[in-house]
Structure 1
Amino acid sequence: MDMELSLTSSVPLFLLLLLPVLCFLCLRRHGTGKQISAGGLKAYPVVGTLPHFVKNQHRLIEWSAGVVARCPTHTMSFNFKSFGLMAGAITANPANVEYVVKTNFQNYPKGEYVVSVIEDFLGHGIFNSDGDQWLWQRRAANYKFSKRSLRNFVVSAVRFEVVDRLLPLLERAERDGRTLDLQDVLERFAFDNVCCVAFDEDPACLTEEGMGVNGRTEFLRAFNDAQSIVMVRFMSPVKWAWRAKRLLDLEPERRMREALATIHGYADRIVRERRERGASGLARKDDFLSRFAANGEHSDESLRDVVTNFVLAGRDTTSSALTWFFWLLSGRPDVEDRVVREIRAVRAASGSTDAAFSFDELWEMHYLHAAITESMRLYPPVAMDTHCCQNDDVLPDGTFVGRGWQVTYSAYAMARLEEIWGKDCEEYRPERWLDEDGVFRPESPFKYPIFHGGPRMCLGKEMAYIQMKSIVACVFERFSFRFVGGEGRPGLVFSVTLRMEGGLPVQVKKRRDSLS
């Protein structure tokens, strides 16, 4: 989905460690008593606000959103270098977002520290690079995304995966009364799809016979494991601790080494086979990997970075978005009914009897577009995104940021601010995206930074919506889901993308008057 996913910087939870804010400075200025820091947090002697972080580390995204919401400008800055940590700011202010990602873009790259933390996982791929390394990859990807043939191929690839694999899988689950982990199903779907579109590779992970071939199951498991361990690195109070653990072969770095061996082995195989097929003239010439490989200057290792970066973007973001979408609709039958009515109205108007929907038919589904967009507002696939300040600066809200500071904007926090979205900001309401004629009305990318903005604006936005709307339309035309995971909202997994803790267990029910 998100072709500018800002991966390591995308969920920089290590920044939240920096919330031990200004305690030492406050003590020097005001004595030894307890002080109140930004966001109403008490700063304790020596340790500052670190106890708040320790207490809330199991719910970091939600907690930090609450802290930022209490700050008058919705920006919290912190400087705690005396403990060997970092300095930075977390913001939910749209003016700051625009300034960082667009107006003063050159002053806010990913930064050396962020890139280095995840380099062994993603190398210097498009989401983990700056300068010329980022620019040539961006240009190569932009060339592909600008071609009409890609849109047509995406529609075709999604159709095959939906009609030949996803719908039969749901049919069998409904017939057998079997509970499905819909998050796992969506991740496997997206993995198949991105490999087909980007690498001319069909892992067939959505088929039972395909999961055990060429280490696909192991790869997906290792990929999830690597993301979790990356977040452990960022969350460490000591920024170099993970390097020491890796040197001493301690957990979780030992597991990371094993996961990387699996990930790199799988990606290396794709690159090797792609080069062999290209040399023999048997490969497709218009996939992403071919475009990157066309420049003979790029090594196999560089192409491996292309594979891992595209897998993360193409698998994890769309699957995250749809997992939360289907969960939200499980508690909103009114929204689901309206989505189904729109799907059937489009079907009736086109007169099509195809098992899937064309691009033009999907384009007419404005309410479905709004429902998915609203879901991503509340549960953004990439909850937070970070950039590094190169030179001392002042944000539009007056917040000073120094050289080397990490500046993070929280899309999760922004969705929960009345000043941005109104008093019903925490309510799931697709209608907020429609005009009086029921036509979808987009918002500023700096108010809704789900696809980022500025030079790193997501190139895969249209492809993501094609995939998500096609899945929902084809599935809801035939089936409904009953969430069987218990009461209350599932937990958030602190990974590179916003995954659902424990998966999304559902019972599949055939819809009345559905297509056979």
Structure 2
Amino acid sequence: MEEAHLTPATPSPFFPLAGPHKYIALLLVVLSWILVQRWSLRKQKGPRSWPVIGATVEQLRNYHRMHDWLVGYLSRHRTVTVDMPFTSYTYIADPVNVEHVLKTNFTNYPKGIVYRSYMDVLLGDGIFNADGELWRKQRKTASFEFASKNLRDFSAIVFREYSLKLSGILSQASKAGKVVDMQELYMRMTLDSICKVGFGVEIGTLSPDLPENSFAQAFDAANIIITLRFIDPLWRIKRFFHVGSEALLAQSIKLVDEFTYSVIRRRKAEIVEVRASGKQEKMKHDILSRFIELGEAGDDGGGFGDDKSLRDVVLNFVIAGRDTTATTLSWFTHMAMSHPDVAEKLRRELCAFEAERAREEGVTLVLCGGADADDKAFAARVAQFAGLLTYDSLGKLVYLHACVTETLRLYPAVPQDPKGILEDDVLPDGTKVRAGGMVTYVPYSMGRMEYNWGPDAASFRPERWINEDGAFRNASPFKFTAFQAGPRICLGKDSAYLQMKMALAILFRFYSFRLLEGHPVQYRMMTILSMAHGLKVRVSRAV
């Protein structure tokens, strides 16, 4: 038998070392790469970043307290960079940087492709998720409506109506000694209000029996899951396989769409009915109707002729008119309960206002006792007070306005607002940002920064908003960012203040609130700063 002719093995040109030496060399290469990566990030301000995963682990560990986690970093560094897989987020809290992003170099910081990809399933091409010409067209139409005196006067009537409905529910709860969830009630009130003002339809969620509100539950669930997308690198895989949170999101969106398309169909049917009757004076001029008319005219510039586009309009205004206002009302109520001196000072202002306005209007106020007042007399007195509240007269309630504004400073309805980056840029403080990343200004953190508001920044002190002569003191919109700033500044700011002051004037004139013993008050992570467990309170009449 011939002996096998063996040829010596040739070392690989890529790994000339053999045996354990090869693995040692590979380990050294990996360690070198890690050291180089860490060295390149040595001056980065923010959480520790690791190869590939960035700061994902620390973000996930702090997800439930994300806003306060950012406060810790931004109190030390006015700008913080957080690396994530495939992208990086730059968080800013310095008004100079905020003005650069929201105004000076506005065109370089749109919502962006990344943000839109996260939010598209809920907000679609609506005003809060749109860029460019589509955004400009929607903003122009909405701006026209919000500037209308007719809409303002109609809004005041609607806000008064639903505030009185809420008062009636609280009056009965007080009499029965029931615990109520103020956040849920505020959400119902604002949902009914925005549907009446914005879309011309009655929803009826604030009826005395508080009917099941599946839309609101589904909308909140969708909001929470979409927020999780910002730090969940696996969400696209979950969506593809229709599992986990993305499966729940799909179910929630289905319920949201069913409600929204029913609103659109109802509004379109009412328009057809009015036109058929020939009674054009009965035609409503709400925001949805304006977009429907634009679509029918074929001159909309943004494609509002189909129900999907109208659906996006509806949902964007729901999140603007329902969630943000109700959230602020909830935090206001919590702050008033936590600061009895503020609540008492506010009550004195409201009582003085009531007496003065009654004299001006020649109104004899209905007499009613204290907590045990006759129901009819009590309701009549509340209605009298509500009738004294108008757009102009509410302007006299300076302390109330200061309390609402101070609540928004510490608990802004939108705690973070991310923007895309089109081209590489350098912020005023020297921070370099790269195209394709995201810059987020953080209203929640900005309101707590001593370099913005002084050593008492973390304190709830409405007096900071009042001048020595008793007039309201405004702040730069790039410092007080609760309503955005620059070209995207909130169109509904005046409307929001009108509704909040209308409701709060009535409630804090005639009721006192006490937090349910042991009830936790914490925010939950979603695009809106709502309370994770609601706001359970005991309510009593306070005439």
TM-score by length of 2: 0.84
Q: Which structure 2 residues correspond to residues 97-496 of structure 1 after superposition, within 5 A?
A: 97-163=98-164, 165-209=165-209, 211-212=211-212, 217-236=213-232, 238=233, 241-281=234-274, 284-295=283-294, 296=296, 297=298, 298=304, 299-351=306-358, 352=361, 353=363, 354-356=384-386, 357-486=389-518, 490-496=521-527
Please give the alpha-carbon distance, in whole angstroms, between the structure 2 residues aligned to 1:50 and 1:229: 17
SS in 2 for 1:211: coil
Change (3 A) 1:24 1:43: farther
Counterpart AA for 2:161: F
Given that residues 46 and 80 in structure 2 are in contact (C-alpha distance below 8 angstroms), is that contact kept between their aligned partners in structure 1?
no
SS in 1 for 2:203: coil
Alpha-carbon deviation of 1:273? 1.4
Please give the alpha-carbon distance, in whole angstroms, between the structure 2 residues aligned to 1:31 and 1:453: 37
| 1:13-69 alpha-carbon deviations (Å, 9 max, x no partner) | xxxxxxxxxx9987206679xx86645644567755444223222211110121122
Please give the alpha-carbon distance, in whole angstroms, between the structure 1 residues aligned to 2:190 and 2:395: 21
SS in 1 for 2:482: helix
Q: Which runs of 5+ in 2 are unaligned?
A: 1-30, 276-281, 299-303, 364-383
Q: Which runs of 5+ in 1 are unaligned?
A: 1-22
Please give the alpha-carbon distance, in whole angstroms, between the structure 1 residues aligned to 2:53 and 2:32: 8
Change (3 A) 1:358 1:47: closer
Please give the alpha-carbon distance, in whole angstroms, between the structure 1 residues aligned to 2:122 and 2:106: 25
Counterpart AA for 2:88: A
SS in 2 for 1:89: strand
Please give the alpha-carbon distance, in whole angstroms, between the structure 1 residues aligned to 2:439 and 2:151: 35
Given that residues 190 and 314 in structure 1 are in contact (C-alpha distance below 8 angstroms), is that contact kept between their aligned partners in structure 2?
yes
What residue in structure 2 maps to residue 19 of structure 1? none
Please give the alpha-carbon distance, in whole angstroms, between the structure 2 residues aligned to 1:79 and 1:24: 20
What residue in structure 2 maps to residue 7 of structure 1? none
Alpha-carbon deviation of 1:389? 1.1
Please give the alpha-carbon distance, in whole angstroms, between the structure 1 residues aligned to 2:493 and 2:533: 28
| 1:354-379 alpha-carbon deviations (Å, 9 max, x no partner) | 24012222110000000110011001
What residue in structure 1 maps to residue 374 of structure 2? none
Please give the alpha-carbon distance, in whole angstroms, between the structure 2 residues aligned to 1:474 and 1:77: 45
CA RMSD for the aligned pairs?
2.0
What residue in structure 2 maps to residue 69 of structure 1? 75
Please give the alpha-carbon distance, in whole angstroms, between the structure 1 residues aligned to 2:496 and 2:517: 27
| 1:371-399 alpha-carbon deviations (Å, 9 max, x no partner) | 11001100110001111111111111111
Alpha-carbon deviation of 1:183? 0.5
Given that residues 40 and 70 in structure 1 are in contact (C-alpha distance below 8 angstroms), is that contact kept between their aligned partners in structure 2?
no
Please give the alpha-carbon distance, in whole angstroms, between the structure 2 residues aligned to 1:112 and 1:130: 10
Which stretch shows the higher mean deviation, 489-498 or 217-226?
Answer: 489-498
What residue in structure 1 maps to residue 18 of structure 2? none
Q: Paired residues, what number?
A: 474
- Bigger Rg over Cα: 2
Please give the alpha-carbon distance, in whole angstroms, between the structure 2 residues aligned to 1:187 and 1:376: 17
Counterpart AA for 2:237: A
Change (3 A) 1:42 1:289: closer
Alpha-carbon deviation of 1:243? 2.2
SS in 1 for 2:184: helix
User: Is 1:53–2:50 an aligned residue pair?
Assistant: no
Given that residues 158 and 193 in structure 1 are in contact (C-alpha distance below 8 angstroms), is that contact kept between their aligned partners in structure 2?
yes
Change (3 A) 1:335 1:361: same
Please give the alpha-carbon distance, in whole angstroms, between the structure 1 residues aligned to 2:238 and 2:32: 29
Alpha-carbon deviation of 1:337? 0.8
**Whose relative contact order is higher, 1 or 2, with alpha carbons under 8 Å and at least 6 apart?**
1
Please give the alpha-carbon distance, in whole angstroms, between the structure 2 residues aligned to 1:45 and 1:404: 19
Given that residues 55 and 83 in structure 2 are in contact (C-alpha distance below 8 angstroms), is that contact kept between their aligned partners in structure 1?
no
Please give the alpha-carbon distance, in whole angstroms, between the structure 2 residues aligned to 1:118 and 1:150: 29
SS in 2 for 1:257: helix
Counterpart AA for 2:244: E
